[in-house]
Structure 1
Amino acid sequence: MIKNSDISALAANFREYITQNKIEEERDQLIEDLTSRNQDLNQFAYITSHNLRAPLSNLIGLIDILDYDVLDEYNKTIVDMFRDSAFKLNETIYDLTQMLSIKSDKKLNIENVSIGSIFKKVCNYFNKQIHKLGIYIHTDFQCETVPFPKSYLESILMNLMSNSMKYHSASRPLRIDITTRLNEDGKVTMIFSDNGIGIDLNKHKDRIFGLNQRFHSHVNGSGVGLFITKTQITSMGGKIAVESELDKGCTFIVTFK
């Protein structure tokens, strides 16, 4: 004899099984759709960025060899606007490429990288701006090497340097201090500070490392440099923090795993 309660329990279990099976099928289909869309989006962004870089580099090169002195004021203004637009587009493409590389680099070559040599390379890249702004740079690399991907470390220092130069104070020469040390727990900490215009952390602390975030309207920028920096550091198990006051500068504390 089968009791009605047993039939009811069996039916309930069967309905639960059907519902659960349907949920799992929908989940698997959703994962498949999202994976496919993500691959298509990455491929589109990769092709777009790489196909634009070559002609854009050619345009920037043509601007550089242009005989600027023979132009009248009107045409000089047009060329200056064209140059600014070209550099902004180049910066946008560079940021896009960086974000794609972070997402696609599953296995990065981690090696003991010399912070001093990487920073020297970064300073050579910004050589014109350093001399133009009269930047004073002080380094104290108590810990000379760090186990980290070389390309990521170069990108981090590039973004921090660029950030300091963009937001320097017009009332005093820019000073940049970089120190490294080995903590008691065996981790390397890098402290990157400047005496620029600073950031109001009471207003913007939660958005400092957000995507497309800008905190000073008078400076041109894409607002993704610090986002990329944090993503690169945290993807390797590290941490980054910021200390800042308006008109007193910024200090970024990076702790490598």
Structure 2
Amino acid sequence: MEKRITEQSSEYDNLQQMSTHDLLVGINREDARVHEAVRKTIPVMEQLVERIVERMRRGGRLFYIGAGTSGRLGVTDASELPPTFGVPFDRVIGLIAGGDGALRRAVEHAEDDLDGAWRDLSPYHPTADDTLIGIAASGTTPYVIGGLHQARSHGLLTGAIVCNPGSPVAAEAEYALEAVTGPEFVTGSTRMKAGTAQKMMLNMLSTTVMIRLGRVEGNRMVNMQLTNNKLIDRGTRMVAQSTGLDEAEARKALLKWGSVKRAIEHHAKNL
């Protein structure tokens, strides 16, 4: 059977004999190819985003599934959206083969379970308004293939993020984002270029969805959660710039109303 591109031999050899400088330059040279591969996915991603937004406006949720690095990237993206955009934690959910324990340590054969993803999704009672994005660098992960197949049969919108062309994962999805990044610097190590491409695509997709859902105003994260001093300081500056309040009053308003958006809205009402 022909090897997938992500499994093909590196264009570099005898890595152990290369200098630190040459290793870094080689990795960087390969990473430079990722941008173009991701750019080619934009036409399909645009269609997928529009359909996700339609569903989320009706109350639908966005789910990510994946195994290993792909699963971790999905969980990371899902976990970053509530603090960044103020979206409820139960609207975007990342699931990884083997459960949360697999975030830190690989769970043997979890990715080979064809029924595992749908079993993991079932407690959330998925509906036809939900979207499932399967993430798999190889495009051959059974956990993702099975999850997408079951989701599609139950009427969910389905998408795939892969780094090989014409893969089984892509075939199961209505919208396949195929960023073909080529062989890895270290043969088969898809945590490198493929992982970078997947992270870029997740950033693009989820950020655009959040903007289209009204979670950003101008270029500012007006719905971000105030979970640390840095974000409170950032929010204070936003409120001050938008309202003309001094920083002390802006901070007071921000903490009273709990978000930049609400603080600005309440200030405007009282003018």
- TM-score normalized by the length of structure 1: 0.27
The higher-RCO structure (CA 8 Å, 6+ apart) is 2
- TM-score normalized by the length of structure 2: 0.26
Which one has the bigger helix percentage? Answer: 1
* Structure of larger gyration radius: 1
